[in-house]
Structure 1
Amino acid sequence: MTTVERPGALPARLPVRELARACVGACALAATELAARRAGLAEVPEARVDDGAVAAAFLSERQLLVDGRAPVAFAPMSRFWRTADGWVRTHANYPHHRARLLGALDLPADATADTVAARLAERPAGEVEESVYGAGGLAAALRTPAQWQAHEQAAEVAARPLIERERPTTAPTRVLAPLDPATAPLLPAAGLRVLDLTRVLAGPVATRALALLGADVLRVDAPWLPELPDLHADTGFGKRSATLDLGAGPGTFEELLASADVVVTGYRPSALDRFGLSPKALFARRPGLVVAQVSAWGAYGPWGARRGFDSLVQVATGIAATEGSAEQPGALPAQALDHGTGYLLAAAVLRALTEQSYDGGGRFVRLALARTAHWLTDGIRPAPAPGAPY
C-alpha cells in the first residue's frame, strides 16, 4: 500500500491522523483483495491512501452544504457542562434524547440551556451520568485516562480484539459473480446486497463505504425514529432507504433478508433481538450471511447495554481530558472513533466476503467505539499541548 502523508491533517495530541490512515488503509486493502478475487487477478492491485483525502472523509459531515447552509453537528443541549465536581457531556441531538435528559434533571420540556447549566452545576458528574442513563438519555462524566483504566468497562474493552470475528455456521462456498475490469469499473462489492440497520455514525459510514464500492445498500429505519436530515444527507450516498415497522410482523423484512448477503446493525447490543434480529436468529434463517455489528461500548461488561456516541466515548475514556486543558475538556479534530470504526467495519465485511469465497460459512464481525478508543490511546504518550514543554 502506498501512503501520501500530510503532516498537518487532523492535528491532535493523540495520533488521530495515523489511526485514520490505518482504518481507511485496511478498508482499501480489503477492497482490493476482494476485487482481485472476483476479477481473477494473479496479484492484488496496490492501494493508495492519501492523508488529505482521509482527513476529508473523516470530516465528511462538515464538507456539505444543505440548502446552502452548513449541517448542524450538535444541538444546543449536546455539549460540555460544568458540574459540582468536574464536567459532564450530554448528547441530545434527537428529540427523544433531549426529553429524557430534561426528565432526568426534573426540568420542563421548554427548559433553556441556562436552566440546565444551573441544575448540573449543583450535582456531581458521576451522579448525572447515572441518572441520565437511567432515564434512557445520554451523558458521560469526564474521566482522565487513569480513571478510565480503573473502570470495569475499560478492562472488558481492553480484553477484546479490535475486530471480533467468528464463523458461527457452516454454509456453501460463496459464489461471487466475476468482474471484468476491461468492461466495467472494478467495484469489489458490485451486486452484493446489504441491509443497513444502523444509526449515527459509525454504522452509516461503513455502509456508505460499501455502497461506494458497488454494493446495493438498503437503509431501514423505524417510521417513528427517522434519521436527522443532515446526517442522512452525509451518510446516505449511494444507498436506498426505507422505513419499516419491524414490530408489525416479519413478512417484509423476511423478504429482504432472503436475498441479503450482509446485515449491518448499529444499535445497542440486543436492542433488535426482540424482532428476531440477533446474530444467532439471523444465521438460523440464512446461514451464509455476513452479520456485522457496531456499538459504542461493546456487547460486554457493565456498560454493554448502554447507548453511546463518539463524543461521549471520548469523554469517558480520557480522550477529552487529554485533548483539553486544565480549564476545559477538549475533543478530537473529527469524530474519529465513529469514522475509524466505520471503515474498519467495512473492511471486516469485505474480508469476510473474500473468506466465504474460499471456504463458505457464515461470518460474524463486531466492533465497538470504546475498543477503537483503546487502540488510539493504549501505550501512547500524547504530543505536548501547544506551548507546553514535552
Structure 2
Amino acid sequence: MRRNLLPVMALLMGTLFLFLGNGLHGLLLPVRGAEEGYSNEILGFLGTSWATGFVLGCFIAPKLVMRVGHIRAFSAFVSLISLIALLTGIVVDDYWWVALRAVTGFCTAGTSMIIESWLNERATNETRGTIFSFYISITLIGVVGGQMMVGFFDPKTTILFMICGMLYCVAVLPTTISTAATPQPLKSIKLDLPTLYRNSPVSFVGILLIGIANGAYGTLGAVFGARAGLSPSVIAAMLSITIFLGAVMQFPSGKASDRTDRRYVLAALSGMAALAAIILLVFQPTDPIMMIVFVALYGAAANSLYPIAVAHANDFASTDDFVKVSGGLLLLYGIGTIIGPTIGGPVMTQLGPYALFSVTAAAHVLLTAYAIYRSRLRAPVPVADRENVPNIPVTASPMSTPESLTLDPRAAPLQEPQETGGNLPPKEANA
C-alpha cells in the first residue's frame, strides 16, 4: 500500500489541508451568522449559493484548467478560496457572504477536479482502488477535523477565519512543489437526463430527493443547533458524527443491498431517516445528548443512501456508461442541494428551528414511497449480474465531481477517451 501511495502522497497531503479548510469554513459561516442574527433564509442561501457555484464549476472550471494548466489553475483557485475565507472574517455582512460563497463553491469544484484528475493520472488499474479509498478517507477526515476546530475558539472573533486561511495556504504548497507530472487535460462528460430517468427512475428521483435532504441539513444543521441553544462545540460534534456514522453505515447497508433488491434497502434506510427526523420534529429534545443520539441515527441512514442509489442505476446500464450515469446523478444531487436550503430557511423561520427536519422527513418519506412503488413495477437485476456498492460517502459538503468517477475501481480500464454521447444501453428492458 505504501508503494501505491508514495507517488501521490504530496497531492493527498494538500487535499487533507484543503478539506480541513472546507470543513471549518463551511461550519463557521452559519454558526457565526446565527450569532450575528442573520435570518434563516440568508443562512440557507449560503448553502444554495455554494452548491450553485459548485455545479457551475463542474462545467466551466475544466475550460479554465485547459487554458492555464493544472498547477496554475489550482494555485489560483486555492488563493481565491483563502482570500474569501479571510475576507468573510473581515467583512461580516450577510449579502456579501452569500455572494462570496458562490465563488468558494466554484473554486472548490475546480480544485477537486484537478486533484481527482491528477490522482487518476497517477493510478494504475492495480492501484486505483487503494488510491480511491484513501482519497475518500482523506476528504472525510479533513471535513470532520475542520468542523471540530469550531469548538476550540470563539466564532465571534477572527481567529477561526485566520486559521481557515492558513489551512488553505498550506494546501497549495505540496502541489506546487511536487515533481510529479501534471495530468492530461480534463475531459467533459455528455449527460442525457431523460435517458438517465428511463434507465432508473428510482435512482433519478431518489438522488434528487437525497440531495434536497442532505443539502437542507448540511447547510442549516448548524443554524438549527444555534437556534436550539447548542454551543459551537456541540454543534460541531453533532454535524461531524452524522458524517462519520454515514461512512460507517455504508458497509452493512451496501452488503445488504448487494444481496437483495436495492430498492428495499433504499426504502428501509430512507424510512429510518424519516423516522428519526419526525421524532426530532415532534418531541424537540433539548438535552444535547438525546439530540445528538437522534441526529446520529438520522445521519447514519441519510448519508448511506447515495451510493446505493448509484449502484441501482448502474445495475441497469452497461459498464461502459458507468461514468456517464454517475455523472448525471451527481448533477441531480447538486440540483437537490440547491433546492434543499432554499426551502429549509423559510420553513425554519415560519415554524421554528426543529422544522428543518420536516423538510428532510418529507424528502425521505417520498423516497421510501417511490422506491416501494417502483419495486412493484420492475424486477431487480439478478444478484449475480450486479456490481458491488462502492464506499462513496456523499454529503452536502463536499460534493464529488465527475472527475472522481474515473477513480472508482468499477470505471472502465485506463485507455484513450471514447465518445460518451448517445443513449445508455440498459441491461434489460424498462417496465
Same fold (TM over 0.5): no
TM-score, scaled relative to structure 1 = 0.30
The structure whose residues are more often strand, as a share, is 1
The structure whose residues are more often helix, as a share, is 2
TM-score, scaled relative to structure 2 = 0.27
